[in-house]
Structure 1
Amino acid sequence: MKILIITPYVGANYGGIAKVVQDIAIALGSQGFNIDLITTNANDAQKLDVVFNHWLDQGKYRIRYFDSWNKHDFILSLSLITWLFKNINNYDIIHTHTIFSPLILITQWLCQRKKIPYLVTPHGMLEPWALSYKSWKKNFYYNIFEKKALQKASLIQVIANLEADHVQSLGFKHYVIIPNGIDHNEFAFLSDPESFYQQFPQTRHKTLILFLGRIDPKKGLDLLAPAFARVHSQFPETHLVVAGPDNIGFLSTVERFFAEAKCLNAVTFTGMLTGKLKYAALAAASLYIAPSYSEGFSMSVLEGMASGLSCIITTGCNFPEAATAKAALIVEPMADAIADALNYCLSHPQEAKAMGNRAREFILNNYTWEKSAKKLIDVYKFLLIKNSCQNPSVNFSEKA
């Protein structure tokens, strides 16, 4: 079985989706399948310095980059489309990542024309908040183009139970739930925080609260500012670390949120952290906070929990299972609720530590890429059988 994964970007400036796509390619390749990944050199305002139009061996999969034009996450690549026209018939399954993308739409149209099964992973882009943000553009695109492509997809992969409910409310019944995961090996041992302290010395000897994600309106930083201000007044040793890229020029607005809340001097903006420095930041932190209005299924939440941190996340993070397992505090996306949860953890450090230990065990036992890859392989096999039988009565909608 030959599987082609396509995503408009793998540049780290686009956040978690870029990492998810590469991690799942590794996990699928580790199961012995032929995995090819095609993408572009887009990386928001920058470009990836890569070789074009050649297969690059990544160990468990191959990747091929194409030159592109982009404005933020609107990405076009004539060379990628040309390659698809010539080569799409070489694959048994096409797996597309993200929606609201012309490159993805053209890929899906080709799959329909060539009768190749395709799986769509929207990564939370069909969530109510996501659809309402810049809705005038999205409504037009969705109703004219996206809805039909989703209807004709072989399956829609959603990554959380709540996302499945939202997808179903839009009229789509052909879905399967396969969550994101983490690489167990990356979290087998906790990192040393020293390299983080050396690069950001103002954080040393502080009780660090870590936000790890893009600086974006949906991330709830407007809620975190007044919440942290209230917490910092009661716990002056606390310090907030905001770690993530500023894709859309939103940083100055976020800095204003904290300035107006009169706590900007207790906040460090690190920019995007990757590799050892990111793991050092996780090791240095005492608490992890995700105040988001909307998520698909946040990779950084999984990383925070796998690091054994006490995690406070909102209902917008689509992870009620963490509350059921008593592995995180889940609150409504409101400043007072976030502040109350932070205060509780800071006031009850032993209970917070125990919750962090439960979180680490919960993630490592249930949310790994190996588990997700095995479920995806079952889906791919099912789609091949269904396509060969052309049996429209077959249904794979389930909570996997």
Structure 2
Amino acid sequence: MKILFIAPYIGAVYGGTSKMVTNLLEGIGSLGVTIDLVTTNANGSNTLDVPLNEWITEKYYRVQYFSCWHRDDFIISLSLINWLFKNVNNYEIVHSQTVFAPTISITHSICKYFHIPYIVTPHGMLEPWALSYKAWKKRIYYNLFENTTIQNSSAIQAMSSFELKNINSLQFQNTVLVPNGIHRQEFETLSNPEIFYQQFPETRGKTLILFLGRIDPKKGLDLLAPAFAKVYNQFPHAHLVVAGPDNIGFMDKAQNYFLQAGCLDAVTFTGMVSGTLKYAALAAANLYVAPSYSEGFSISILEGMASGLPCIITNGCNFPEAAKAEAAHVVEIDVNAIANALIECLSNPQQAREMGDRAREFIFQNYTWDHAAHKLIQVYQTVIDREPLPEFLA
């Protein structure tokens, strides 16, 4: 089996999508499948400092970067498209990452031309909120390009049961459910929070509420600001950590939300955190919050739960299973609902810790990259053999 992944970007500033792609590659490659990735050197307003037009060998896969023209997450790479024309026939299946991306739309057309089956992972971009954001542009693009090329795919990977339902509501039938995961070994031993305190000393001795995600309109920071202001009024030792990259220039607006809510002095914006510093932030935190309007299936939520944190997430995060398992507070997309759940956790610390313990075990048992890799390999083999998609994945 020889698989080609294609993503318009894997720069860290693009958040969970990039992490999911590389983690899946590692998981699939570790099971003995030959897997390559082609992508661009886009990285927000900058570019990655990587060799171009040559294979770079990672532990379980190869990656090749191509130059591109890009503005924010709108990316076009003529050199990558040219490479696909010459090389796509060397693969049994192509797995594309995200939609509403010109390079990906062209990839699907190339696959159809050469009769190479392809699988599409939308990464939440077909969710109702995502479709309504900049709706008129997306409607035109969707009708001209996306609808037909997605219909022609061999499978569409949804990452949550809600996303599966929403994709099916768009009259797509060839869907499979393969959730994201975490590497269990990264969370079996928690990191030293001192690393985080040293870099952000204003957080030492505080009750920390952690937001871990991109600074982006869909992440619900406009809801979190007034919600946290209510919390801060009752718990003056509470401190909010907003950890994540700003790759679309949204930071000033986000900070203004907290300024207007009167709680900016109790908020630390760290910028992007990764590696040791990210794990230290998770270890230092007392609570995790994800006030999103829309998600595909958030890796950072899985990381918060795997760290044993009591988590407050909205139903826009598409994780009803967490509520069913009593492993997280899943609330409405509403300021008061978010504030009340945070206040409940802070008012009942023992109960909150018990929920965090349940969350940790729930993630370890159900949401790892090993699980995801095994499921996707079964999907690949089914597509290659031209058989019906596995029923238990639909």
- Answer whether TM exceeds 0.5 for this pair: yes
Pairwise CA distance, 1:397: 5.6
Per the alignment, residue 357 of structure 1 pairs with 357
* Partner residue, 2:235: 235
Give me the whole-angstrom Cα distance separating, in 2, the residues matched to 1:166 and 1:133.
16
Partner in structure 2 of residue 22 of structure 1: 22
Determine the structure 1 residue equivalent to 2:142.
142
Structure 2: gaps spanning 5 or more residues: none
Q: Where does residue 199 of structure 1 map in the other structure? A: 199
Render the CA deviation track for 1:44-93: whole Å, top value 9, x for unaligned.
10110000111111010000011111000111111111111100000001
Residue 399 of structure 1 and its aligned partner are, at CA, apart by 3.7
Tell me how many residue pairs correspond in the alignment: 394
In structure 2, distance between residues paired with 1:91 and 1:209: 46
Corresponding residue of 1:293: 293
Q: Which secondary structure state, in structure 1, belongs to the residue aligned with residue 385 of structure 2?
A: helix
Matches within 5 A, 1:240-255: 240-255=240-255
Q: Does 1:366 align with 2:366?
A: yes
Asked if structure 2 preserves the Cα contact closer than 8 Å seen for 1:159 and 1:297, the reply is yes
The aligned counterpart of 2:338 is 338
The amino acid across from 2:214 in the alignment is R
Q: Cα deviations across residues 324-345 of structure 1 (Å, max 9, x unaligned)?
A: 1110000001000000000000
Partner of 1:106: 106
The answer for the alignment partner of 2:57 in structure 1 is 57
Map of 1:189-338 to 2, 5 A cutoff?
189-338=189-338
Q: Deviations over 1:204-247 (max 9, x none)?
A: 00000000000111000000001000000100000000000111
Q: Is the 8 A contact 2:307 2:360 kept in 1?
A: yes
Question: Following TM superposition, by how much is the alpha carbon of 1:185 offset from its aligned partner in structure 2, in angstroms?
Answer: 1.3
Mapped pair 1:159 → 2:159: yes
Q: CA RMSD in A?
A: 0.9
Does the CA-based 8 Å contact 2:81-2:103 persist in structure 1? yes
C-alpha distance in 1, partners of 2:199/2:390?
49
Q: 1 CA distance for matches of 2:155 and 2:391?
A: 8
TM-score (norm 2): 0.99
Question: Matched residues in 2 for 1:147 and 1:118: separation?
Answer: 15
Correspondence list, 1:82-101, <5 A? 82-101=82-101
Q: Is the 8 A contact 1:227 1:338 kept in 2?
A: yes
* In 2: Cα distance, 1:378 partner to 1:191 partner: 35
Contact kept in structure 1, 2:382 and 2:389, CA below 8 Å = no
Q: Distance in 2 between matches of 1:43 and 1:143?
A: 28
Please give the alpha-carbon distance, in whole angstroms, between the structure 2 residues aligned to 1:23 and 1:2. Answer: 18
| Cα distance in 2, alignment partners of residues 112 and 257 from structure 1 | 46
Answer yes or no: is the 8 Å Cα contact 1:174–1:396 preserved in 2. no
Q: Which residue of structure 2 aligns with residue 171 of structure 1? A: 171
1:44 maps to which residue? 44
For 2:244 and 2:202, locate their aligned partners in 1 and report how far apart those are by CA, in whole Å: 18
Contact 1:4-1:37 at 8 Å conserved across structures: yes
In structure 2, distance between residues paired with 1:103 and 1:259: 39
Q: Deviations over 1:113-167 (max 9, x none)?
A: 1111100000110000000000010000001100000100001010000001101
Distance 2:324 2:358 in 1: 11
1:7 aligns with 2:7: yes
Q: CA deviation at 1:395?
A: 4.7
Give the letter for the 2:312 counterpart. Answer: I
Deviant stretches of 4+, over 6 Å: none
TM-score calculated relative to the size of structure 1: 0.97
Alignment correspondent of 2:119: 119
Q: 1:246, 1:52 → 2: CA distance?
A: 25
Aligned-pair distance for 1:254? 1.1
